[in-house]
Amino acid sequence: MGYPKKVKLVEVGPRDGLQNESRNVSVDLRVNLINQLSACGFPVIEAGSFVSPKWVPQMANTIDVLSRIDKNSFTSYPVLVPNLRGLEEAIEADAKEIAIFGSATEGFSHRNINCSIAASLKKFEPIVDRAIKEGIKIRGYISVVLGCPVEGEVHPEKVADVAKALMDMGCYEISLGDTIGMGTPTKVQRLLDILSRDIQVTQIAGHFHDTYGQALANIFTSLQYGVSTFDCSVAGLGGCPFAGEGASGNVATEDVLFMLNGMDIETGIDINKLVSVGEFVSNELEKPSASKAGRALLSLSKVRTNRTSNHG
């Protein structure tokens, strides 16, 4: 069975994870988290959003986060931008990569960015034009590609239309968001069959949520199509606001990495360091990690440490 030998993991915890926290998330914590993730070897770490702080208060002061983090030369630190105002701030913050974010359904588009799909694409055009002039890379997100909390089933053709529009505009990659985690391997196959007619699989990223425990199966399915970029969130940060209290959100990075390591797929990420970061952020947020691999590896390392200290 064929799959890529190398995978790019996009760590979205500091943005997609923390944006869903009900408690206040300080700039200090965000900077500390990003610095620790940088030390794990991620090629991409989403650092925040330049969106309305009324809509997403946890991402306020992203400009301070960007100015304070220790940047690796090999890591990209993209920020989400919904409009030209957000882009101006990203430029001021010296961001080298941004992400614009649309939706596969009208219902979710209105809920997330307060406009129709067509209006969102119109808004994105000048953002992309200006970003390209500034030498900034642009990633395109599409939410609710495998199920929508407002409209239910989503037709793959609708996703393909938005994906094509974003690629034509100048995005270098499209991240497919299974925002409410309703995707299953068969649905993923159907979507990738249609999308891969217009877009190369190397320009597609999978952004799966583990709300119904399907994320790793969906990633495995995508790997078989040749998809080699996946978004994930340390400790599975980021509950899904539409799935009820306690439901998992973004797939946990530790779980994805454990699977990829087991398949001998190269990522460049140190799993032991990552597990410690998961423990750190879970302690800071005073909640258990949502990563099964993270919890198991942590308890294993504690058992080993105890054994070593007991034996002197």
Residue 291 touches which of ligand HMG, Mg ion, none (Cβ within 5-8 Å per kind)? none
Whole-number Å distance between alpha carbons of 115 and 101: 12
| 149-188 positions binding ligand HMG, by CB under 6 A | 177, 179
Which span (79-87, 127-135, 197-205, 289-297) binds ligand HMG, by CB under 6 A?
79-87
Q: Which is nearer to ligand HMG, 111 or 273 (CB)?
A: 111
Long-range contacts at 241-246 (CB < 8 A, ≥ 24 apart): 241/20, 242/149, 242/179, 242/180, 243/180, 243/181, 243/211
Closest of 254, 245, 259 to residue 281, by C-alpha = 254
Residue from the set 52, 61, 72, 224 that interacts with ligand HMG by CB under 6 A:
52
User: Phi first, then psi: what are they for 43, rounded to 5°?
Assistant: -75, -25
Residue 143 touches which of Mg ion, ligand HMG, none (Cβ within 5-8 Å per kind)? ligand HMG
Q: Number of residues in contact with ligand HMG, rule: CB under 6 A?
A: 23
Q: Do residues 149 and 108 lie in contact, with contact meaning Cβ atoms separated by under 8 Å?
A: yes
Least separation in angstroms between CB 242 and Mg ion: 12
Least separation in angstroms between CB 208 and Mg ion: 9
Residue 109 touches which of ligand HMG, Mg ion, none (Cβ within 5-8 Å per kind)? none
Question: Which positions ≥6 away from 296 have C-beta within 8 Å?
Answer: none
Establish if 29 lies at the interface with ligand HMG (CB under 6 A): no
Q: Which is nearer to Mg ion, 124 or 141 (CB)?
A: 141
Write out the DSSP string of 242-276: TS-TT---BPBHHHHHHHHHHTT-B----HHHHHH
Whole-number Å distance between alpha carbons of 222 and 185: 8
Establish if 85 lies at the interface with ligand HMG (CB under 6 A): yes
List, in sequence order, every residue forming a beta bridge with 140; answer none if it has no partner. 100, 174
Residues lying near Mg ion in the complex (CB under 5 A): 16, 250
Q: Which is nearer to Mg ion, 16 or 254 (CB)?
A: 16
Both structure tokens of 234: 């340390």
Establish if 207 lies at the interface with ligand HMG (CB under 6 A): yes
Q: Do residues 188 and 157 lie in contact, with contact meaning Cβ atoms separated by under 8 Å?
A: no
Least separation in angstroms between CB 300 and Mg ion: 28
Q: Kind and range of the H or E element at 101?
A: strand 97-103
Establish if 291 lies at the interface with ligand HMG (CB under 6 A): no
Please report how many Cα atoms fall inside a 13 Å half-sphere around the Cα of residue 236, on the Cβ side.
26
Catalytic status, residue 240: yes
Q: Which is nearer to ligand HMG, 107 or 296 (CB)?
A: 107
Residue owning tokens 């249609």:
194
Which residue number has the CB closest to Mg ion?
Answer: 16
Whole-number Å distance between alpha carbons of 248 and 230: 17
Which residue number has the CB closest to ligand HMG?
Answer: 177
Which span (77-85, 157-165, 252-260, 266-274) binds ligand HMG, by CB under 6 A?
77-85
Q: Annotated catalytic residue: which of 115, 148, 232, 240?
A: 240
Q: Which residues bind ligand HMG (CB under 6 A)?
A: 16, 19, 49-52, 54-56, 80, 82-83, 85-86, 101, 112-114, 141, 143, 177, 179, 207
Active site residues: 240
